[in-house]
Structures are given as C-alpha cells and as structure tokens.
Structure 1
Amino acid sequence: MKSEAWIFVVCTAFMVLVTPAYWFVTAASEEGGDWTGTSALVMCTLLFAMITVYLGFHAMRMDPRPEDREDGDIAEGAGEYGFFPPFSWWPLWAALTFGLVVLAVAMAAWWLFIIAAVLGLLALAGWNFEYYRGEFKH
C-alpha cells in the first residue's frame, strides 16, 4: 500500500505546483485570473491529498504486502484474491435507463422521466439480486 501512497504523494505535489502556476498564467491573460479552472485544480489537489492521506494511514496500520517489501517473493502473493462477478447485462440496462432519465429531464418530459425512473429501479433491483436467482445463484 505504500507504493500506491507514494504515487499519490507525487500527484499531489504536482498539483500543488501546477495550480498556482495556472492561476498566474491566466491572471496575466484575463482580468483577475480564471477562477473556474483554478477552483477545479484546487479541488483536484484536495482530492489527491485526501487519497494520499487515506492510503498513507492504512499503509502504516497494515502489515506490508509482498510487493511492498524488498525481500518479497512472487509466491507469497499467491492465493485467492477475492470474488469477481461473471458477466452481467444489468449494468447496461441501468446505464441506459439513467441516460433516459437525463434525457427526460433535459426535454422536461416528466411522463418519460417517471417511466425511465421505474425502469431504472427495476434495473437496479435486477442488478442487486442477480446472485439470488438464475445461473449464478448461491
């Protein structure tokens, strides 16, 4: 976990350097600087810093993984990595119904919004309960 934390430390440091540089460059070309881009970069910097703190905190509290140690062997990382779901059509239907909801709001077609929201709830329920029925039931 320490290697991931160091990657985000570098990204945070980069954003800390780039954000004021962006503000100074846009301040020279526009009146008062580009506040939209500057605030977006500040928020990205804070998000990188938040992930850095999270990964660093957990890296200190957990035992080093084989890939974090200099003397770690590849064989030490063998074993079960977890559960990976098989293919599923439910994310596609959920995304399509969400797109329909956004389209309905953009067109102010509230009748379409209601239909899309109901279909979206059905898609989310199907996605949530796909392991309780059918071929992949457990």
Structure 2
Amino acid sequence: MKVEARLFDVTTSFFFLSAIIYGIWAQEPVGTVGLILSGGLSMIIGSYFHFVARRLERRPEDNPDAEISDGAGEIGFFSAGSYWPVALAASGGVAALALAFWQVWLLVIGLALVLMAVAGLIFEYHTRPNETD
C-alpha cells in the first residue's frame, strides 16, 4: 500500500502547487477553490493508504527488489459473472430519472430498487450457517 500512498502524495502535492500557481496567475477564486478541494480529497485517500500500509504486511509491490514469483499464488476471490451491478445501475437510473422530473412516487420505487440491488450484490455469495441438531 505504500506505492499507492506515494502516488496520492504526489497527486496531493500537484493539486496544492497548482492551486497556488493558479491562484496567483489567474486571480480566479472558483478554480483555486476547486484545486484546493481536489488536493484535500486526494490527501484524504493518501492518508487512508498510509494508515492501512502501517497495519498490513509488506507486499511484493512495496519491495523494489521483489521478483515476479514473489507475487505468485492466490490473489483473492473475484466473481465470474454477476447481474447485480446491471440491476444496480438500472435502479440508480430510475432513481435519477425520478429526481430529474421530481416524481416522488417513482423516487420511492427507485430507492427501493436500489436498496434491493445493493442487498443482492452484498449477499450474492452468502450462505446459511450449517445447522447442527
């Protein structure tokens, strides 16, 4: 995670430096505030990565002398295919359409669909605990 933290540190520095230069050069407050806020958001993510990097063991990506074989093995579980992201996008579209035309009844339906799609996505691979008698 240290590589990612450094990446966001560089991004944060770029945004803050750009905000200073833009603020002096353009004399336009909206763009300056936008760059400062972008730097702040980047700093939040970088701080999180620094926080997590202290608690994790060192990964091969963090070792400059690592070999390719150091990263071999199981990486994690990735779903082969799921239709829940499509349902989530469609229900989000319904909710956004309801907001755009301010149809409260459709907004209620859209939010219910969003909640069902989120629950389906989260519990897609959930199994019941083994029942012992």
Mapping 1:43-62, distance limit 5 Å: 43-62=37-56
1:130 is the counterpart of 2:103:
no
Alignment length (residue pairs): 127
CA distance in 2, matches of 1:126, 1:25: 51
1:18 is the counterpart of 2:18:
yes
Residue 136 of structure 1 is matched in structure 2 by none
Over the aligned positions, Cα root-mean-square deviation in angstroms equals 2.2
Mapping 1:102-113, distance limit 5 Å: 102-113=96-107
CA distance in 1, matches of 2:79, 2:70: 25
Deviation at 1:89, TM superposition (A): 1.0
Deviation at 1:84, TM superposition (A): 0.9
1:93 is the counterpart of 2:87:
yes
Residue 131 of structure 2 is matched in structure 1 by none
TM-score, normalised relative to structure 2? 0.78
Mapping 1:113-128, distance limit 5 Å: 113-128=107-122
Mapping 1:54-73, distance limit 5 Å: 54-73=48-67
CA distance in 1, matches of 2:105, 2:41: 38
Percent of aligned pairs with the same amino acid: 40
SS of the residue corresponding to residue 16 of structure 1 reads: helix
CA distance in 2, matches of 1:83, 1:66: 19
Give 5+ residue unaligned stretches, structure 1. Answer: 28-32, 134-138
SS of the residue corresponding to residue 125 of structure 2 reads: helix
* Among 29, 45, 52, the residue aligned to 1:34: 29
Aligned CA distance change for structure 1 residues 128 and 48 (closer, same or farther; 3 Å): closer
Deviates more, 1:94-103 or 1:57-66: 57-66
